[in-house]
Amino acid sequence: MAKLKKAETAQLREKMLEMYPDAECALHFGTIFQLLVAVVLSAQTTDKSVNEVTPALFARCPDARSMAELTEEELQGYLRRIGMYKTKAKNVRNLSLMLVEKYDGEVPEDYDKLVELPGVGRKTANVVLSVGFGRQRIAVDTHVFRLANRMGLTAEKDVLKTELALMKVLPEETWSRMHHALIWHGRLVCTARSPKCGECGLLGICKRNGLK
């Protein structure tokens, strides 16, 4: 996998931020707790599907205390339309219980504490820190991993190395915005199977469709 040079990376970064100035998290939520739950539910499921089930769930259980009072079976009833709903129901209930028991129902603003919660991995923790707490983070999902390596921002074969590589080549103040820009570009243009290179605003910049 070929990598962009420093000047080319800067050109691509500025163009992406120009193309997606308002890119933000597509999940619907009202609180940081609801954001956490929504991100956990979004694993291997589209944000659209999650947004279809969370309004009723959050209306019934807006916070960790009320969520912890539901049984797994009750939670499954709300989540039945999304993938892996049984596992996710278990994780959401258990993380809610842990938040109540250890953090008085509040979501901690700490990476190590977040990844201790059931169903919360590196990507989820980074999204919560970025979107919920305004910290600069790059959460590497399937879109970010695919685009970063396809376009030449990185040349890595796993998610963690891609995240660390992006943190090196992108200015820290752009991490969160670039994370969202990459996701939106991956959804709208640079799709997995049939990327629309001819319609891409990065034509002539990224390694796949321009620079050699």
Q: Give the domain-ending residue among 114, 132, 150.
A: 132
Q: What was the pLDDT predicted at 2?
A: 75
Q: What was the pLDDT predicted at 162?
A: 97
Q: Give the domain-ending residue among 132, 157, 179.
A: 132
- Identify the CA nearest to 211 among candidates 203, 17, 153: 203
Residues 12, 67, single domain; the answer is no
Residues 128, 36, single domain; the answer is yes
Domain of 99 in residue numbering reads as: 32-132
Q: Give the domain-ending residue among 91, 115, 132.
A: 132
Sequential pLDDT tens for the chain (212 residues): 578 999 999 999 999 999 999 999 999 999 999 999 999 999 999 999 999 999 999 999 999 999 999 999 999 999 999 999 999 999 999 999 999 999 999 999 999 999 999 999 999 999 999 999 999 999 999 999 999 999 999 999 999 999 999 999 999 999 999 999 999 999 999 999 999 999 999 988 887 654 33
pTM above 0.85, yes or no: yes
Q: How far apart are CA 193 and CA 174, in angstroms?
A: 28
Q: How far apart are CA 37 and CA 131, in angstroms?
A: 13
- Is residue 1, in this structure, part of any structural domain at all? no
Number of neighbouring beta carbons within 10 Å of residue 34:
22
Domain count, the chain: 2
- Is residue 210, in this structure, part of any structural domain at all? no
- Is residue 149, in this structure, part of any structural domain at all? yes
Q: What was the pLDDT predicted at 90?
A: 98
The catalytic residue positions are: 123, 141
Domain with residue 179: its CATH number is 1.10.1670.10
